Amino acid sequence: MPGRRPSPNPPQVKTVEKALKVLLHLGAAGRDLGVQEVARGAGLHPSTAYRLLSVLARHHFVQPGSAPGRYTLGLRLAELGHAALGTLELRAKARPSLERLMAETRETVHLMMLDGDTGIYVDRVESPQRIRVASSLGQREPLHVSAVGKAILAHLPAERFARLAAAGFPRLTPRTLTATAQLARHLREIAARGFALDNEEGEPGIRCVGAPIFDHRGHVIGSLSVSGPAYRLPLARLTAWGPLVREAAAHVSAALGFRPAARPSAPRRTGARSTS
């Protein structure tokens, strides 16, 4: 007996599609709607519409309207939309600098965006060389384990660093910096020279150099880096590339409206005692 083919639209997918119809109908209406109106517009049974609205409201994708039982789009959607626009703008503004850096170094260039307390890779230009760094767009990474992440971490407010330190810095390789005092000193050095080095701290056999990107308010929002195999990138070469990477990041920051005068002074970090 042949095996049964999986349904192209399992129940979970159908539920997601129904929820999206609810959101799209609310958005098209441009005003708050009652459950019956949402059900009719989205082609759903009223009880289904009510259940979906309740779940969406719990997660702030919709919010109460002008009267009980009425709903409108929630602020969570505005947050996601703002984040999406920010990612698109950053990628568009950074792309020429990424391509120039790759052409000058012939190594893989990454673009990272700050997302919460982690970094997320949003773009890359791969090295043409046969042996190169493999990476995945959308991959999240702790900020303390790479040059591209440390370039961001060095410019975050001191209270944010303290919160991360309280949670602990996980060790990914024997070279990962996990002691709060040691890492705080290291970040002050990064902030002073304008670029960070990664000596196999996130992955054995990989080194990189990264620099921060600032928005028009002077807040760090991301970074870019050049990465490659450790055997091909001695620390002396990475250090020599530091000003080049820093300049490329500065071009992106300027394209986003950043002016050096808008940049807050580097946050002072106290090195709380920690075990490495």
Q: Tens of pLDDT along 176-186?
A: 999 999 999 99
**This prediction's pTM:** 0.69
The CA distance from 255 to 155, in Å, is 19
Pairing of strands 62-64, 33-34: unpaired
Per-residue pLDDT at 138: 77
| Domains of the chain: residue spans and CATH | 11-73 (1.10.10.10), 81-262 (3.30.450.40)
pLDDT at 115: 87
- Summarised one tens digit per residue, pLDDT across range 5-31 is 545 566 778 888 999 899 988 888 888
Q: DSSP labels for 28-96?
A: HHTS-EEHHHHHHHHT--HHHHHHHHHHHHHTTSEEE-SSTTEEEE-HHHHHHHHHHHHHHHHHHHHHH
Instruction: State the first-to-last Cα distance of the chain, in angstroms, to the nearest integer.
Output: 59
The count of other CB atoms within 10 Å of the CB of residue 141 is: 18
pLDDT of res. 163: 92
Report residues of the chain scoring pLDDT below 70: 1-10, 81-87, 262-276
pLDDT for 248: 96
Which two tokens mark 14? 């159908």
